[in-house]
Amino acid sequence: MDNRNDGIIKKIKGLLAIANDNKNDEESQSAFIMAQKLMIKYDISMGEVESKKESQDIKQGQVTVHKKLFWWERKLAIIISNNFRVKFFYNNKHLNGQKKIKRAIVFLGFDRDVELAKEMYVLAYDVLTFYTKQFVEEQYKDKGFFRDHGKTADYKNSYIRGFLEGMDTRFKEQVEKMKQEFGLMVLLPVEVQSAYDEMFAGTKGIGFQLPPIGEIQAYQRGFSEGNQVDYTRSSIDDEIVMN
């Protein structure tokens, strides 16, 4: 990785670290776009195009520990991989003689793309869990309900489904905006797809089922909050100076 690329990743990590300290602030969600925009601007400034072969090694980057993955962790991995030029897969392992398989999420792609995808996943994870907890607490407080495991699960699952779909919509809008503004598409490199296909040739993917939307209001609130990311704030400067 060259010095300029090191600087870009360092800048992205710095922005995300700042946002991660302010999860309840609007700036935390803006960090998604700040990082994504910087990634795209780097491609432009280096005169790279998606069809050009990049001089980087393809690497793997594990982003979760081996555990029983929640459905929304899997869905989040799909969203990140679809918007940040990487593929993802599960690394399976039996821990301490346990019979049930534990899985970890791993990203596959060019070095800088994997590092960015990992940073974005962790930040998205933290923001999502923060807002979900805040929403559930607010519901019980405002409605005066006694806590119930089933009701809590409905609130969480419905809200998270909405939040993730809202987030995904905004990521896609940002990518489309960059395409229109700069004529650049954020495409998965051919080399990464080929490496993924070679690794998993003849194997069948592991699917998962989305939970039903039990609370429409929770889903709508989640979608709204996941979708309300300001992509064009003046604080997101087009000219990011590298230190």
pLDDT at 64: 95
Instruction: Note the pLDDT of residue 28.
Output: 52
Question: Given this model, what pLDDT does residue 140 score?
Answer: 87
Residues of the chain with pLDDT under 70: 1-56, 178, 181-186, 229-243
The answer for residues whose C-beta is within 8 angstroms of residue 167's C-beta and 6 or more apart is 32, 79, 124, 226, 227, 229
Element spanning 87, H or E: strand 87-93
pTM of the model: 0.73
- pLDDT for res 18: 54
Structure tokens at 125: 């994870």
Left, alpha or beta for 215 (phi > 0: left; psi -120 to 50: alpha)?
beta
Give the pLDDT score at 219: 96
Q: Is 41 exposed, middle or buried (0-12, 13-18, 19+ CB in 10 A)?
A: middle
Q: What is the pLDDT of residue 52?
A: 42
Q: What is the pLDDT of residues 54-64, one digit of tens each?
A: 446 899 999 99
- Cβ neighbors of 30 (< 8 A, separation 6 or more) are 19, 229, 230, 231, 233, 235, 236
Q: Output the pLDDT for position 214.
A: 87
